[in-house]
Chains A and B, each alone.
Chain A
């Protein structure tokens, strides 16, 4: 079956660095996404990895290892506004060249002053 695992909750301090891990067991892997979702709001796109390695975008970086079925989202210089849920999603290829996103349950990050 298709499965994505993320920690349920994490806590960090303002100004610090935090790493949110995501492991997946899927077939037909075709890319991994990270989204940010503030309480009561829609998810917003953060990053996309399809090849192994690190993608850096400002304070946020995302890493992928396809052989290990593993990704992490790294948040630097944490700010209070980074308190949100972080969703890991894997895109899989299906029959007929259709693509589907499989979503993790999200990691709720609390940034404390």
Chain B
């Protein structure tokens, strides 16, 4: 069966510090991968998606970046965090043959 992992589960970082969130998927190959952010009182905002290794599409201009160094690994990064980067970060995947997206457990980021 397929499993999606995210870490860390929670993170408190000062403004201006770097960020690295990792997501891995097990039990499948060549998944589509997504990074979302859910801020308090707001809907899910798609940040990046990837259809393959090294292929990243950005949805919203911001100080975040994403990379996909391996087929089942997706990384979200920032060089300098802003207060507005606080939120619940969710990684999701869907197999090429399926419609629904499956979400990882999420990382709750608080920027202080």
Contacts and interface: CB of A to CB of B under 8 A. Distances in A.
Contact of B102 (A45, A89, A91): A45
A87 interface: yes
A87 B44 contact: yes
Interface string A75-103: 00000000000010101000000101101
Nearest to B36: A103
A31 B104 CA distance: 22
> Size band of the A side of the interface?
20 to 34
Nearest to A42: B103
Contacts, number: 40
Contacts of A40: 108
B88 to A, nearest CB: 8
B100 A103 contact: no
Nearest to B41: A105
Contact of A41 (B41, B42, B57, B106): B106
Nearest to B91: A42
B61 interface: no
B25 interface: no
| Size range of the chain B interface in the assembly | 10 to 19
A91 B99 contact: yes
A103 B44 contact: yes
A106 B90 contact: no
Contact of A45 (B100, B104, B105): B100
A42 B106 contact: yes
Contacts of A87: 43-44
B17 interface: no
Interface of B: 41-46, 49, 57, 59, 90, 99-106, 108
Given A33-B99, A103-B45, 7 more contacts: A31-B99, A33-B100, A42-B105, A43-B103, A98-B57, A103-B43, A105-B43
5 contacts: A45-B100, A48-B100, A98-B57, A100-B46, A101-B101
Please list the 3 inter-chain residue pairs (A to B) with the smallest Cβ-Cβ separation, ordered nearest first: A42-B103, A103-B44, A45-B100
